[in-house]
Amino acid sequence: MVELAGPQAFDAGELTDAVRVRVAPDGGRIQLRVTRSADGVLVQARGATRAVVLGDRHGADAARLVALAASDLLFDDLARSPIVEPRVPGFTLAALGTVAAWDSGSLAVATIDLTLPRGAWLATASLGAGQLIGASVHASEGIVRLGGGRRIGWLDLTAGVTLVPISVNDGVGDRTVLVGGGLAARLRVPLADSVWLVIAAGADAFATRSEYTSNGVGLGSTPWLAPWIALGVEVAP
């Protein structure tokens, strides 16, 4: 019998199947209780408890890892060797191409993103540069994002501060920095060991705004709100 205390990265059927292949079909009744921990699960059986770090594993893959831990608790004749836990990277790096909708055009940006996972929590930093395209004003932009959030399976949800240094080449030119904050959702799809496809979307809201004119004609302005989408690859060095 498998009891899951709250939602897990796998369901009871997946864990039951993973345990069944590791026990004799004519054996006695088995009872497992699984509860969530900060970075995985706690498996309880026969009065003993074992912690299992799941990392990004989910579904049948996560259930097999938990079943391996449970097998040590179920049988007296198994050696009490430590569980070999999946490697949890100390940090990851992502290269992303981003397009943001601005009032006067689209901002195309290339960024390098750093993520520091600590259990289910994250610290994030992003640095990039780009160009305003399809606009009357010619401008180059940088971007800096600093924040944090939470990892839920393949999904990262983050919030933080956004800084956008702007260099305008039209007229007498301009140098300014937009200051604001943003929210983002990032889907990380495994491609290979320590490699993920990243699909992200979010929006930045700014507390400051600049408008540009030439000979009394408006060329455009920076936005109060800038939604964006991004695509790229993330790796764990």
Q: Phi/psi of residue 66, each to 5°? A: -65, -40
- pLDDT of 168 reads 75
Which CATH number applies to 92-235? 2.40.160.20
Q: How confident is the model at residue 220 (pLDDT cuts 50, 70, 90)?
A: low
The rounded mean pLDDT for the chain is: 82
pLDDT tens digits, one per residue of 11-32? 888 877 877 776 666 555 677 7
3-state secondary structure (DSSP) of residue 27 = coil
pLDDT of 219 > 70? The answer is: no
Q: How far apart are CA 224 and CA 219, in angstroms?
A: 16
- pLDDT of 144 reads 96
| CA-wise closest residue to 137 among 214, 202, 46, 73 | 214
pLDDT of 79 > 50? The answer is: no
Q: Phi/psi of residue 11, each to 5°? A: -105, 170
Q: How confident is the model at residue 75 (pLDDT cuts 50, 70, 90)?
A: low
Q: How far apart are CA 170 and CA 190, in angstroms?
A: 44
Helix%, strand%, coil% for the chain, nearest 5: 10, 60, 30
Q: How far apart are CA 113 and CA 128, in angstroms?
A: 9
pTM score above 0.85: no
Residues 6+ apart with CB under 8 A from 42: 34, 35, 36, 49, 50, 51, 52
**CATH 2.40.160.20: which residues of the chain?**
92-235
Of residues 16 and 199, more confidently modeled: 199
Q: How far apart are CA 31 and CA 12, in angstroms?
A: 12
pLDDT of 229 > 50? The answer is: yes
- Contact predicate 230/98, CB 8 Å: yes
Q: How confident is the model at residue 4 (pLDDT cuts 50, 70, 90)?
A: confident
Q: How confident is the model at residue 80 (pLDDT cuts 50, 70, 90)?
A: very low
Of residues 71 and 189, more confidently modeled: 189
